[in-house]
Structures are given as structure tokens and as C-alpha cells.
A = this chain, B = another copy of it.
Amino acid sequence: MMGRQSRATERTPGRPREERVTGAVLEAVVDLVTEEGIGAVMMDAVAARAGVSKPAIYRRWPTKQDLIIAAAETRFGVLAVPDLGDFRAELHLVLTARLEAYRLPGSDRLISGLIGAAAETGTAGGQYSEYTERIMGETRRILERGIARGDVAPDTDVRAAATLVAAPLLFRLIGEQELPDARFVDALVDLVARAVGSAH
């Protein structure tokens, strides 16, 4: 939201080129990871593939970790779920949006690479966990909206429940090394709705 706002107010003649460079670089990162793995994300290779200079990349993303997070965020970004008047429906929407992104070619390598890189770069851990925090926000919000509405139990531990929503699809993709599917999403919707539903 912030990004979109500043884009509207700060529009200058230089802006379209800025956006084109950003898009080309992040697309190059996703393509390299998909085709060759995270090890292929070297500044030289990214610059060559995106057709930009290395300084143009370093100016925007000072470290490789920043670059990988930004590329991941083009695919697994912040969701905005409208109030559908029903927690189950909103949960289904969140899980289906993530499912579609996780099923894209290269998503498993992109996420695994992000995790591996975060573990190696101690100092950059902060940015990585800020990213996780950011993309978890909408899940916590639909839980809180459900509590306010009355279809999520008022005593729900929202932060714990949010992990129940976010983690299983990732675990199937990265841990079980299997593409999650719509049937799995349906099973998760049933399980999570029972876990936090106000009916108990």
C-alpha cells in the first residue's frame, strides 16, 4: 500500500525506467533460480540476464539476500482479502492464493533458497523475518476479523493459529517435496476452521 501511494505521488519522468529495471532484475532472479537453482544468483549473471549494470542492482538491493527476498515477494507477496462475511471463505481465499503461487515452476527452489540463504547470512536474518512478518499480516487480520464477527473463537491464540494457516502448504512443498493441490487446501480449510471456529 505504501509503495503504491508513493508511486502515485512521486511520479517523475525517471519513474518508468526505474520500474522497468526493477521488474527486469527481479524477473531475472526468479528465472535463474527456476532454471539453475539459488546458487546461480550471482550479481554478474543477474545483471547480464536483466540487461542492466551491476551498480544499478547494488543501488536497489545492497546484498544478494535483499535481492532474493525482493524476488520472492513478487511471487509470495502481501495479500489483501476483502471481508467476505465468513471466516471459512476468507481462509479458503488465502490458501488458494498461496497454492497458486506455490505451484508455479521454481517456487520450491525460490523458497528453499531463501531459507538456506537466510540461515547463512546472520545479519540479514532481520530482513527475512520482517518479510515473513509482512506476509503473515493478512492471515492474522482475517483471524481477528473472525473474532470481531463471531465466527472465530474469542480465546484464539491468533499468532499460533496463523502458523497453522501458513505452514502446512509450505511443509508439503518444501518438506514433503510434493506440489500441494486443491484437495489439500480443502482439507486444511476444514481442519483450521474446526481448530479456531467459535462452535467448540
Contacts and interface: CB of A to CB of B under 8 A. Distances in A.
Given A199-B200, A200-B199, A171 B166 contact: yes
A136 to B, nearest CB: 8
6 contacts: A112-B115, A113-B119, A132-B176, A164-B192, A167-B170, A171-B171
Interface in A129-160: 129, 132-133, 136, 157, 160
Contacts of A125: 177
A105 interface: no
Interface residues of A, number: 47
Given A115-B116, A167-B170, A167-B175, A191 B38 contact: no
Given A116-B113, A191-B196, A171 B170 contact: yes
Nearest to A133: B176
Interface in A12-61: 37-39
Contact of A129 (B136, B157, B166, B176): B176
Nearest to A184: B160
A39 B120 contact: yes
Given A194-B195, A195-B195, A108 B119 contact: yes
A79 interface: no
B108 A112 contact: no
Interface string A102-118: 00000011001101111
Given A109-B119, A164-B164, 17 more contacts: A112-B115, A112-B116, A112-B118, A116-B120, A118-B177, A125-B177, A132-B175, A136-B176, A160-B191, A164-B168, A164-B188, A166-B171, A167-B170, A191-B195, A191-B196, A194-B194, A194-B197
Interface string A166-194: 11101110111110000010011011101
